Amino acid sequence: MTSARHVAIIMDGNGRWAKRRLLPRSVGHKRGVEAVRGLLRSLDDTGIEVLTLYAFSSENWKRSEDEVSDLMGLLRIFIARDLDEIVERGLKLKIIGDFSIFPADLVTMIQDAQARSASGTQGTLVVALNYGSQQEIAKAAAAAAAKGEVTVETIAAGLETADLPPLDLLIRTSGEVRLSNFLLWQASYAELYFTDVLWPDFTVDHLKQALAEFSGRERRFGGR
């Protein structure tokens, strides 16, 4: 059986979860944060070493000003409430994407959170903020070209995930079947898992179901 060291999740469906219940989208986002908390508290039972979450894409700026503000507020609350537990659990927080354009107070909170958790050795929580995979690849390719050698290896070395284990499993919730500019390079040989479960309803049992399916797949990486 194959175990997944590095799992990534596109956490989709907060808005539809709220709409089905005739609730504001902001309530769906709040419940989505609760789902994140539930997974983090159960990571020890999964064997996952790195969990990467798509929290805010570079395209999310197209949403309404109120929704973007709500998402920023939830990120502040998450850091304030959950950082102590993340540190106590020995998790290292790593951010990918350009969060430098976020409000100044939030940038400081994120930087402090990464610094406080830097010595964590029990796993890594990667959060993608203002992240876009095409932009990441273009930046890495430009850096490789500037050094005079553009190869698969030099581009890979310039990615923000270069210090992480290869991506094993990418999960998307809510029934959508696309990658939405998330970890496109890293997902080259990752296994993909799509579920109709909306993100606020996603539990560790759903995660374990995805891991069980992953463990039964034969990964050939282009071979027979």
Residue 98 appears among annotated catalytic residues: no
Residue 12 appears among annotated catalytic residues: yes
In this structure, what are the phi and psi dihedrals at residue 98, rounded to the nearest 5 degrees? -100, 90
Q: What is the pLDDT of residue 6?
A: 98
Residue ranges in the chain modelled with pLDDT below 70: 1, 221-224
pLDDT 10s digits, 164-189:
999 999 999 999 999 999 999 999 99
Cα separation of 175 and 14, whole Å? 12
Question: Please, what is the average pLDDT of the chain?
Answer: 95
Q: What is the pLDDT of residue 220?
A: 73
Range list of H helices, 14-132: 14-20, 25-40, 65-88, 104-117
Q: What is the pLDDT of residue 195?
A: 98
Cα separation of 115 and 223, whole Å? 41
C-alpha angle 124/157/186, rounded to 5°? Answer: 60
Of 45, 60, 70, 84, which residue is the catalytic one? 60
* Beta bridge partner(s), residue 125: 51, 93
Of 12, 70, 82, 168, which residue is the catalytic one? 12
Q: Where are the domains of the chain?
A: 6-215
The CATH superfamily label for domain 6-215 reads: Decaprenyl diphosphate synthase-like (3.40.1180.10)
Looking at residue 175, its amino acid is G
The model's pTM: 0.95
Picking from 181, 179, 203, 210, the residue whose alpha carbon sits closest to that of residue 7 is: 210
Q: What is the pLDDT of residue 31?
A: 97
